[in-house]
């Protein structure tokens, strides 16, 4: 996503292409894009940069959440999903997407109808498996009753633990993989944020926990987290990724980066084995309610179906 959506200050085409090829060379086996990212340009970038290496990675993309008449919105109607999928296949220059997600829940369309559209796409050979993003355990179960769901993608990190309310239980019960996006909390746990001085177009400038007065409070917690990483002899980003991967055997981390060195650092985290004491030290920092500020502003949060934490309900 970050190559041309969400965080501003995007790399040029040549640098983005080098990064994606370096990822494959380093052993990365899944690339995740979406119709929303750059209004389709991210999918085109993947095709241009690594389409010739298509057999080397699992390709994931998403539908429903996108840009409509220049505005971000949702359209989970079966006909809209079918159209978005065909457009994605064209942008990706392929006839098959391995894992295709409903990016968000369109509350105006029964989940059964949206999943039914993807089930027909599986039958047609256009996609290999169905995923859901930012959806609740109840929605997951309804969707799974229509067609087996392969993966749930939701924000998850030491800072963001909504999936622990009920989604992890649903994944364990139904045999569904969990893909943790923003596992380093949008850079907060990777040494990337010291002040609210984001480039133009960076979404963090509009997220409550990344702006003042909340950010100063949260950076104090991050300083404690950084100290735990230093004691363990690893980087903060690696500590965050190692913590995420240690939660459950069905959890996969999905870190994004625009920096080849950070990519190598992230890949190395996959082989870490953190001690019980280190994991407990992280948990002691990010106790319920420790982080100040909500994940999203109300308009964006309205598109998220994942359960709220007790402190968010309060």
User: What domains, with CATH codes, occur in the chain?
Assistant: 1-133 (3.20.20.100), 134-314 (3.20.20.100)
Residue 155: which pLDDT band, with cuts at 50, 70 and 90?
very high
- Residue ranges with strand state E in the chain: 30-32, 58-63, 65-68, 71-74, 97-102, 127-133, 149-155, 177-181, 251-254
Residue 22: which pLDDT band, with cuts at 50, 70 and 90?
very high
pTM: 0.96
Residue 30: which pLDDT band, with cuts at 50, 70 and 90?
very high
Q: Whole-number mean pLDDT of the chain?
A: 96
Take residue 122 and report the two structure tokens written for it: 């599986």
Is pLDDT at 314 greater than 80 in this prediction? no
User: Token pair 């300083």 is at which residue?
Assistant: 223
Stretch 226-245: mean pLDDT, rounded?
98
Q: Quick one: CA torsion of 155, 160, 161, 163, rounded to 10 degrees?
A: -20
Q: How far apart are CA 152 and CA 132, in angstroms?
A: 5
* pLDDT given at position 301: 83
Cα 294 to chain centroid distance, Å, stands at 17
Stretch 40-55: mean pLDDT, rounded?
97
Q: Are 277 and 271 in contact (CB under 8 A)?
A: no
The one catalytic residue in 37, 57, 101, 198 is 37
Sequence-ordered list of residues with C-beta below 8 angstroms from that of 153, at least 6 positions apart, any chain: 32, 101, 131, 132, 133, 134, 178, 179, 180, 181, 254
Say what percent of the chain tops pLDDT 70. 100
pLDDT (tens digit, 9 = 90+) per residue, 106-118? 999 999 999 999 9
Stretch 78-84: mean pLDDT, rounded?
98
Q: Are 173 and 145 in contact (CB under 8 A)?
A: no
Q: How far apart are CA 108 and CA 80, in angstroms?
A: 13
* pLDDT given at position 209: 96
Q: How many CA atoms lie within 13 A of 294 on its CB side?
A: 14
Buried b (16+ CB within 10 A) or exposed e, 23-46: beeeebeebbbbbbbbebebbbbb
Cα 44 to chain centroid distance, Å, stands at 19
pLDDT (tens digit, 9 = 90+) per residue, 164-214? 999 999 999 999 999 999 999 999 999 999 999 999 989 999 999 999 999
Sequence-ordered list of residues with C-beta below 8 angstroms from that of 272, at least 6 positions apart, any chain: 234, 238, 241, 242, 245
Question: Is 101 assigned a catalytic role?
Answer: no
């Amino acid at each position: 996503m970050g190559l041309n959506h969400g965080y501003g200050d995007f790399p040029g085409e040549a640098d983005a292409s080098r990064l994606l090829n370096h990822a494959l060379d380093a052993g990365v086996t899944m690339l995740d894009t979406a119709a929303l990212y750059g209004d389709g340009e991210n999918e085109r970038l993947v095709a241009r940069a690594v389409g010739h290496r298509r057999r080397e990675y699992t390709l994931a993309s998403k539908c429903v959440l996108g840009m409509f008449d220049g505005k971000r919105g949702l359209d989970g109607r079966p006909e809209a999903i079918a159209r978005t999928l065909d457009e994605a296949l064209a942008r990706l220059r392929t006839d098959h997407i391995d894992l295709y997600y409903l990016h968000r829940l369109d509350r105006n369309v029964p989940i059964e109808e949206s999943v039914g559209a993807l089930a027909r796409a599986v039958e047609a050979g256009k996609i290999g498996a169905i995923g859901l993003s930012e959806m609740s355990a109840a929605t997951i179960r309804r969707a799974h009753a229509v067609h087996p769901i392969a993966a749930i993608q939701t924000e998850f990190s030491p800072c963001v633990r909504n999936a622990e309310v009920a989604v992890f239980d649903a994944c364990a019960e139904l045999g569904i993989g969990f893909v943790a996006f923003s596992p380093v909390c949008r850079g907060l746990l990777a040494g990337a944020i010291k002040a609210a001085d984001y480039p133009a177009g960076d979404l963090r400038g509009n997220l409550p926990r990344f702006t003042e007065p909340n950010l100063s409070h949260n950076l104090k917690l991050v300083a404690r987290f950084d100290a735990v990483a230093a004691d363990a002899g690893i980087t903060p980003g690696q500590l965050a990724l190692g913590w995420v991967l240690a939660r459950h055997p069905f959890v996969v981390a999905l870190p994004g980066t625009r920096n080849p060195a950070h990519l190598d650092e992230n890949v190395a985290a996959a082989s870490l084995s953190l001690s019980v004491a280190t994991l407990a030290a992280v948990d002691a920092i990010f106790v319920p309610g420790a982080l100040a500020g909500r994940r999203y502003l109300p308009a964006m949060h309205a598109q998220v179906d994942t359960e709220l934490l007790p402190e968010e309900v309060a």
